[in-house]
Structure 1
């Protein structure tokens, strides 16, 4: 009797390990897709955020996100006037970020557009034509 129980336990253990491995694989692929997904552009009225920030571009970021660091560096290199709200260290910034119903960082906001995610080409094409106008506002 001990033999069949041992076999059954072995089969159950194997099935459990396969299920766990499959779940980890699915989760890993989902996370990889979200990290490598292209930025999402969303038109809207974000003028209140921009007005309250006092700059024509607002970047919601975290202090540990490598894409946020790249976004900050690009905005600086493009000489785009902007303000950065670090949502992981500032409760007011987090509250404003939560009102956007965003689920990742970085989030770049202009008066009429929101870009969730980072891609240099997207930032350049989104802000390239606006850099002169952005600079002229201040």
Structure 2
């Protein structure tokens, strides 16, 4: 009986350690907002489009974002921060870091986040 209790305690400790090891590194991302609201109109080269993607040709998340927009028939500007100095400058003004950085209306979204894209597009359509 005592051996069973000891084994159970060890399993609980190991399980807790695994969960802490899994959750703790991801905690900042889990607590981070999906988007940042702001005035981003000066980042659009043309005011007729309200979606812009700052990315690279080799980024798989950028590729997924492009595919998402194309599959949902969303008209967007696609600027490569590696081939355009102006795009790299604008990306740096937005805080730089990784790609993709997507602006939909007044929302800045970092990374490939389809749910955040959908929410931003709905909010954008409501404001029109």
1:61 aligns with 2:55: yes
What TM-score do the two structures reach when normalised by structure 1?
0.62
Quote the residue 2:65 is aligned against: 71
Q: What is the aligned residue count?
A: 102
Question: 2:96 aligned to 98, 102, 123, which one?
Answer: 102
How does 1:1-138 map onto structure 2 within 5 Å? 33=26, 40-50=34-44, 52-54=45-47, 55-130=49-124
> Shift of residue 64 of structure 1?
0.8
Distance across 1 between alignment mates of 2:73 and 2:125: 8
TM-score, length-normalised on structure 2?
A: 0.66
Contact (CA 8 Å) 2:99, 2:110: kept in 1 or not? Answer: yes
SS across alignment from 2:35: strand
Equivalent pair of 2:104/2:120 in contact (CA under 8 Å): no
Change in Cα spacing, 1:128 to 1:78, as seen in structure 2 (3 Å) is: farther
- Radius of gyration: which is bigger? 1
How much does 1:91 deviate? 1.4
> How many angstroms does 1:104 deviate by?
1.2
Judge conservation of contact 1:44–1:113 (CA < 8 Å) in 2. Answer: yes
5+ residue gaps, structure 2, are 1-21
CA contact (8 A) 1:39 1:122 kept: no
1:24-54 Cα offsets, whole Å, 9 max, x none, are xxxxx9xx85xx767730000001112x234
Superposition RMSD on alpha carbons, in Å? 2.8
**Where in structure 1 are there 5+ consecutive unaligned residues?**
1-28
Compute the displacement of 1:114 (Å): 0.5
